[in-house]
Structure formats: structure tokens, C-alpha cells
Amino acid sequence: MITGWHWWFGAISGVVLLTVAALPLAALVVWVLVRRREGTGAAWRRSMAEVGIVYGTVPWIWMIMLPGPRAGEVSGRVSLVPVRDLLAVLASPPLTVVVQVVGNLLVFAALGFFGPIRFAALASVPRILALAAVCSALVEVLQHVLRLDRVSSVDDVLLNAAGAGLAALLSRRWWRTG
């Protein structure tokens, strides 16, 4: 059983609870940013997008960078064959499929949703896909290099990028285009 500070910061359930508990703080940060930018017409849009990117991405990165039970002892597995791990997950029990697939789709979804709203240079699905793929590949490399006892998989990169791309499509009507 995980107890104390480790439960809050070193276990997925603790990270989820901290993320939910931090929502009022995130809202306060948006409000403070809007007040500081009072002279600009797009203060709410910019502030919501900036806080949304951070609030919606950091907890996922935190969770996927948590070490496994044999961290430091083993380097972890590397899977460079596309779709192999995804097919293995799809053959798992339904709850595992949902957690693995949906979880991977959500890792960079906030970046995909809010990035084009905040930064005009990101206002295209191919750019969001490329940015999310690069960020995801960096996370996978870090998992391996830091010996976190995790699988570094190309399928994770594909799902993370796809999630960002789908989220970008959902926010398309609010994109900055100028």
C-alpha cells in the first residue's frame, strides 16, 4: 500500500486527485492573467489557452513518467514496430483497452485543442500532429533513458499525436488565423 506523500505524487490515483483539486487554482490563474492583460481584447482567449495547455498536459506527462516497479534495474522495452503494441492492447480486457487507448489519446489533447487557439503558427492539423509526435517521441526516449521500467513504443507516439490532431479538429472554429 502506498502511503504519505508518495501516494499523492508517485501514484496515478494521487496525481488524478491533485489535478482535480488544482482546477480552482487553474481558474484563478486564468482570472489573474486576464486582469493583468486588461488592455487587450483577446485576454480571456489567450489566458484560457495558456492555462489549458499546461493544466491539460502536465498531469498526463507526470503520470506517464512515473517509474514502474523495477525502475533503475531494467532499461524497459522498446517497440519500434507500428501497431504491434496497439493490437496486443486491443486483445486485452475492455477496461485495459479503454484506459490504454483513451489515456494515450488524451496525453497531448490539451496541446492540440488549445495550441492553435493561442498560437496562430500552430493553426493547422499537420503542424499539431508534428508537434505532438515530436513531444511524444521525446517522452518515450526519456522513459527509456531514465530507465523507468516502461515500454517505449512507437504506438504511444502515434496515439498521442492522433489525440492531439483530433482535439485540434474540435477547436478549429476558435483557431487564430492571423
Task: Note the pLDDT tens digit of each residue in 59-105.
Answer: 999 999 988 877 777 777 888 999 999 999 999 999 989 989 999 99
pLDDT at 76: 74
Tally of domains within the chain: 1
Q: What is the chain's mean pLDDT, rounded?
A: 90
DSSP state letter for 129: H
Q: Cell 486582469 sits at which residue?
A: 35
Can you give the pTM of this predicted structure? 0.89
What's the confidence (pLDDT) of residue 39?
A: 64
Q: How far apart are CA 28 and CA 1, in angstroms?
A: 34
- State residue 2's pLDDT score: 52
Residue 53 has pLDDT above 60, yes or no: yes
**Which domain range does residue 97 map to?**
5-174
* Alpha-carbon gap, residue 106 to 3, rounded angstroms: 28
Q: Judge contact between 57 and 110, C-beta under 8 A.
A: yes
Rounded CA-CA distance 14/82 in Å is 32
pLDDT category, 177, cuts 50, 70, 90?
A: low
| 96-127 pLDDT per residue, tens | 899 899 999 999 999 999 999 999 999 999 99
